[in-house]
Structure 1
Amino acid sequence: MNTIIQAAIQRSRASIMLLIFLFIAGISAYQSIPKEANPDVAIPMMYVSMSLDGISPEDGERLLIRPMEHELRSLEGIKKMTSTASEGHASVMLEFDAGFDADQALADVRVKVDAARSKLPSEAEEPVVNEINVGLFPVLSVGLSGPVSENQLVYIARQLQENIEAIPEVLEVDIGGDREDLLEVVVDPQVLEGYGLDYQQLFNLVSNNNRLVAAGSLDTGAGRMSMKVPGVIEDLDDVLSMPIKVDGDTVITFADVATISRSFKDPLGFARINGQPAVVLEVKKRSGANIISTIEQTKALIDEASSRFPEGMHINYIMDQSKEVKSMLSDLLNNVLTAVVLVLILIIATMGVRSAVLVGITIPGAFFAGILMIAALGYTMNIIVLFALILVAGMLVDGAIVVSELADRHLAEGQTPKQAWANA
């Protein structure tokens, strides 16, 4: 340590250049480092979600939860398993021991869920494994409301969802209040009876025609080309023009016996903003992305699209975490400036201007050095890092004052400035 101190004092110009470089690099790192409210903390909990329309809680426990629990109980590191069944839905919550490997645990759970899938009813939807991570919580909630039709409101929300998810820093966008599309088919029983058909024949006809048949491959001598018989229904016209019966020269199509219209499934809840129907876009950023930049790009995109919204439609920013991050960064800057000013005033009054300047330089220098190291390690600027930087300011000032006071005492005893500061 003495060798390093002596070398720094003897090469004063190099030390000053290093200090200037530290300030410049620290300021640059402060501008570029990703900023967020909370760090990506892996919470030792996951849950498996299962859905089956119309199933009762009792049947959900027997048909969904028990087969899933049977597979999941063999996982290593599980501390607690909690299951919940409700109408049409069931979930299994897994709590792991502290210090678990999140990636490995997620992979193991997915393997067990895939093994249990064959034991669930065929009508059940695919089980979904969800990990709980505070870094994946929404950072921006945008409410769209106004006196417009529900179809128009959902359409606009889906268009915004697609455009916002194109932003590189955005992970995904969920739509609160969105309703699943439904194709409603109304069959006229009298017409169907007049043509000598029944519902089962109609159902089988649609099911058998909505298939993609692999027909092998064709070897041309120059290469092999796969063959297929496409029969997948792609749009509404494919259904309406489908022939269901041929009587001589007359072809009866699906449109002759039924009417088809687009609709939505029955809502499970309702959203209102100022008494108007509403949907909410919940924006989630990618891990390590700059929350301020992400939200600014999202808002700019929404403002640009708002010119095409129907008259009377309102945009409400219900939650905006970038304001919280900006406030924390502002508090950090204010605390640093306040600490420097108070220390300078106190040391000028007790030890003189020279000591005050030397001590005053150490505070921002240490902050910029810390931020530069945080950026080099790949961490983000979050509430934990900011709290640590503010907390360490008191320790830093104490050390600088002690060294400066001891150097002044050595100077009073007749030592040269280089000797006094080196010994201090």
Structure 2
Amino acid sequence: MNIAEYSVTKKVTTWLLIILFLGGGITALQEISRLEDPEFTIKEAKVVTTYPGATPIEVEREVTYHVENAVQQLQQLKRVESISQDGYSEITVVIKDKYKKPQFPNIWDELRRKINDVQVELPPGANTSIVFDDFGDVFGLFYALSGEGYTYRELKDYADILKEQLLLVPGVRKITIGGDIKEVVYLEFSRANMAKLGISNEEFSQVLKSQNLVSNSGNVRVGNEYIRINPTGQLLSTQEIGELLLSGTGNSLVRIKDIATVRRAYEETPNFYTYHNGKPALTVGISMLSGENVVAVGERLDYRLQELQTVTPVGMNLDPIYDQPKIVDESVSGFIINVIAALVIVIVVLLFFMGLRTGLIIGAILLITVSATVWFMNYQGIDLQRISLGALIIALGMLVDNAIVVAEGMLVRIKRGEDGLKAAGEVVSATMWPLLGGTIVGILAFAAIGLSEDATGEFANSLFWVIFISLLLSWFTAVTMTPLLCVQFLKADKPGEEQTDPYGGFLFRKYRGLLSTAIHFRWVTLSIVIAMFASSIFGFGYVKQSFFPDSNTPMFFFDMWNVEGTDIRKTRDDVVQIENYLHTLDGVESTTSFIGAGATRFTLVYSPESSTSSYGQIIVTAKSLADIPRLEQKALEYAAVHFPDSEPKTKPLRIGPGRDAK
């Protein structure tokens, strides 16, 4: 008794397995983690060191050189990149592709130890180097907070409220607020007046530093209570700063407001600006916990944001720049539609070639196999994301092959009057191992991706494993469940009726004639095949080569570099002018500008640009993908005419890892 005969004989067990596969798949589809991209380790860290007052050459020689030497001692290092600017050193550490996520905590610890060891070699004016190893965090929900007439302080206060409340939503890991411009107090004084009064810069600075210091003032017992002493006198306003006394010549006392102008303002030259649709804005990035269903987390966040509408200031808007849960939900919905379409196509096609009952059987086997694949994916911790969904869609075309071979063999035998159990045993005995061999060959075609150690292999790893699981399950269902369904639902021709030839239909007869002609004129057939093969090789040279295609999200980036050393306010004015121009074009949904550095990493494949005052980026959301080429061309033409000294560039939102070139 082979596996097919066992499945038919023990039909209760087989039906139980069918129900288990279907039920497990439906349950898993509700529970399985859903992401936009597969989990992928960004194998980069940044080492930042500030050296106030130093020129780029001094930063390079006295800071960057020593830190780079320390970093290059890492055995896991793939490459190191550095930027030396006025008073600022930034080193990007890139680790070899073969190292996986569990190994990185130890790698970053080793990097920190080496950076700590090199601190003694840095010049006295340099600050302690800081290692940022969370550079790869992805904030899939990315919002712009703006409001007509609101100051940065008011925007930041409400952003802090949002952060405090949204961190309590289950599934949220981290929230970051970007684009905030700090409030400062400017003291503008006359050096000549200070010299006359005998007040030095050091004394001025010391008086300010001594204010608002928190120190333990002790405790005192009062009756039965033990009360902490909390001294007053902290400075709470610019007016109080102006009332501070300085000691001048002859022990004379002078108020700061008498020799200096004290004013409160925002930083005049901040390091970073953010604009949304041409208006000053802050950004709010939300990162989810690993393994969470981002669609469900997104729904919880939307519900909480609706509840917070009652405390939202009038005229203040929280607009999505990038909504990962919405994109993921659309992808999963698209996959379900593809599965339904595949079932309909299989049933309709087989209806013409093998009959309605056979078509329904093959369609049922396809549904069972897909359902079981989702169940096993959930058990193995494979998320539903663009790669695994793509693998399932690829597999849909192959999952029915094994079942068709078994169903066709049984159809012919049952129509001829053979016993169903005997037909199942003979058909599966003859085809089981050849089908398994063909299935393994199909799996091995994707093995290079699954076993690759580079970044592409890690990103597309789930492609191999989903194909592996689904094709093996298709073989299993073909040799177990397909025979049972065929025995249950396929019927022999009635006694007395003329037995019909399953291959006597119009299409089969025409195909037999075409095949006979091709074999008879074999040299002509071979010549046509060789010519088609040669033409395909020639045409392949005109196909754009890219392992990963561009994203189908209607979004692109406009990057602009001004001359190095350009004031960030000049860069801001240029970028905002281009942003306002884009809004005059048809097809633009929204724009968000970042001046001085790139945006927060809102999608896995986005790599933020390093900090520099001459750089600006506009994230443009178009109404459709068809609008993007025209908008890119218009933006480049406008920049070439109005900012001839700049270096503009556009690029689409990519899928998969890779490096951007300036």
- Please state if 1:147 is matched with 2:148: yes
Between the aligned partners of 2:338 and 2:193, the Cα distance in structure 1 is 80
Q: Distance in 1 between matches of 2:275 and 2:2?
A: 70
Structure-1 separation of matches of 2:264 and 2:51:
23
Q: Which residue of structure 2 lines up, in the alignment, with residue 177 of structure 1?
A: 179
Contact 1:52 1:125 in 2 (8 A): no
Which structure carries more strand by proportion?
A: 1
Structure with bigger RCO (C-alpha 8 Å, 6+ apart):
1
Question: What's the counterpart of residue 200 of structure 1?
Answer: 202
- The amino acid that maps onto 1:149 is Y
1:339 CA displacement: 0.9
Which SS does the other structure have where 2:282 is aligned? strand
The equivalent position to 2:422 in structure 1, one of 404, 414, 419, is: 419
Q: Does 1:280 align with 2:280?
A: no
What's 1:298 paired with?
301
Q: Which amino acid aligns with 1:142?
A: Y
Deviation at 1:231, TM superposition (A): 9.4
Distance 1:270 1:96, change over 3 A: closer
Name which of 335, 357, 362 aligns with 2:338: 335
Asked if 1:352 corresponds to 2:355, the answer is yes
Once the two structures are superposed, what CA deviation does each residue of 1:147-187 show, in whole Å capped at 9, x if it has no partner? 22322122212222232233342222222311234355678
**Native 8 Å contact 2:47 2:129 kept in 1:** no
Is this contact kept in 2: 1:244–1:252, CA < 8 A?
Answer: yes
Residue 404 to residue 232, structure 1, CA distance change in 2 (3 Å): farther
Residue 31 of structure 1 corresponds to 30
- Give unmatched runs, 5+ long, in structure 1: 216-227, 246-250
Cα distance in structure 1, aligned partners of 2:95 and 2:45:
8
Give the structure 1 partner of residue 18 of structure 2. 19
Q: Secondary structure at the match of 1:271?
A: strand
Match of 2:394 in 1: 391
Mean alpha-carbon deviation: is it higher for 397-406 or for 78-87? Answer: 78-87
The offset of 1:293, in angstroms, is 2.0
**How far off its partner does 1:51 sit?**
3.3
Per the TM alignment, residue 33 of structure 1 is displaced from its structure 2 partner at its CA by: 0.9
8 Å contact kept, 1:9–1:422 = no
- Cα distance in 2 for partners of 1:8, 1:235 equals 84
Q: Percent identity?
A: 23
Alpha-carbon RMSD = 3.7
Q: Distance in 1 between matches of 2:345 and 2:380?
A: 32
Name the residue aligned to 1:221.
Answer: none
- Following TM superposition, by how much is the alpha carbon of 1:205 offset from its aligned partner in structure 2, in angstroms? 5.2
Distance 2:121 2:164 in 1: 36
Supply the distance in 2 between the matched residues of 1:383 and 1:293 (Cα, whole angstroms).
Answer: 17
Give TM-score scaled by structure 2 length.
0.54
| TM-superposition CA deviations, 1:79-101 (whole Å, max 9, x none) | 22221112343221223332124
| Match in the other structure for 1:223 | none
User: In 2 relative to 1, CA 89–291 (structure 1 residues): closer, same or farther, beyond 3 Å?
Assistant: farther
Give 1:154-303 correspondences, 5 Å limit.
154-182=156-184, 184=186, 198-201=200-203, 203-204=205-206, 207=209, 236=236, 263-265=265-267, 266-303=269-306
Q: Compute the displacement of 1:26 (Å).
A: 1.0
Q: Give the aligned partner of residue 63 of structure 1.
A: 62
Residue 311 of structure 2 is aligned to residue 308 of structure 1 = yes
TM-score for both structures, normalised by structure 1: 0.81
- Mark the CA change 1:154 to 1:213 in structure 2 (over 3 Å): closer, same or farther: closer
Q: Using the alignment, how far apart are the partners of 2:187 and 2:27 within structure 1? A: 61
Q: How does 1:364-375 map to 2 (within 5 A)?
A: 364-375=367-378
* Contact 1:211/1:231 (8 A) holds in 2: no
Q: Report the CA distance between 1:16 and its aligned residue.
A: 1.0
Whole-angstrom CA distance in 2 between matches of 1:119 and 1:214:
36
Distance in 1, matches of 2:323 and 2:306, equals: 15
Query: Are residues 112 and 229 of structure 1, via their aligned partners in 2, closer, same or farther at CA, if it must alter by over 3 Å?
Result: farther
Q: Distance in 2 between matches of 1:312 and 1:139?
A: 25
Secondary structure of the corresponding residue to residue 36 of structure 1: coil
Report deviation, 1:330. Answer: 1.7
| Code of the aligned partner of 2:236 | L
Distance 1:98 1:319 in 2: 28
CA–CA distance in 2 between the matches of 1:212 and 1:78?
A: 44
Aligned partners of 2:212 and 2:235 also within 8 Å: no
SS in 2 for 1:39: coil
Counterparts in 2 of 1:254 and 1:32: CA distance versus 1, 3 Å: farther
> What is the rounded CA distance, in whole Å, between the counterparts of 1:232 and 1:128 in structure 2?
38
Q: Output the CA distance in 2 between the equivalents of 1:233 and 1:53.
A: 32
Q: 1:88 to 1:213 in 2, by over 3 A?
A: same
SS of equivalent to 1:236: coil
Cα distance change on mapping 1:132 and 1:270 into 2, 3 Å: closer
Deviation string, structure 1 residues 364-421 (Cα, Å, up to 9, x no partner): 2111111111111122111111011111111111111111001112324543212222
**Which residue, 102, 105, 108 being the options, matches 2:107?**
105
Post-superposition CA distance 1:254-285 (Å, at most 9, x none): 99998977654332343333333222212222
In the TM superposition, residue 315 of structure 1 has moved relative to its aligned partner by 2.8
Aligned to 2:73, the other structure's residue is in SS state coil
Summarize the alignment of residues 98-137 of structure 1 with structure 2, pairs less than 5 Å apart. 98-102=97-101, 103=104, 104-120=106-122, 121=124, 123-124=126-127, 126-130=129-133, 133=136, 136-137=137-138
- The 2-side partners of 1:25 and 1:233 are apart by 67
SS at match of 2:273: coil
Matched residues in 2 for 1:304 and 1:405: separation? 59
Give the SS at the match of 2:90. strand
Say which is worse superposed, 57-66 or 327-336, in terms of deviation.
57-66
**What's the CA shift string for 1:282-302, capped at 9, x where partnerless?**
222222222212222233333
Cα distance change of structure 1 residues 58 and 315 upon mapping to structure 2, 3 Å threshold: same
* Amino acid corresponding to residue 160 of structure 2 in structure 1: R
Cross-structure match for 1:220: none
- Partners of 1:32 and 1:242 lie apart in 2 by 63
Contact in 2 for aligned 1:148/1:313 (Cα 8 Å): no
Q: Distance in 1 between matches of 2:215 and 2:41?
A: 45
Distance 1:123 1:148 in 2: 40
Partner SS state of residue 396, structure 1: coil
2-side partners of 1:379 and 1:261: how far apart?
57
Aligned runs of 1:70-109 on 2, under 5 Å? 70-102=69-101, 103=104, 104-109=106-111
Structure 2: distance between partners of 1:232 and 1:3: 90
Cα deviation, residue 206, structure 1: 5.6
User: Where does residue 407 of structure 2 map in the other structure?
Assistant: 404
Mapped contact 2:115–2:129 kept (Cα < 8 A)? no
- Contact residue 139 and residue 285 of structure 2 kept, 8 A: yes
Cα deviation digits, residues 179-202 of structure 1 (max 9, x gap): 234355678999989998655345
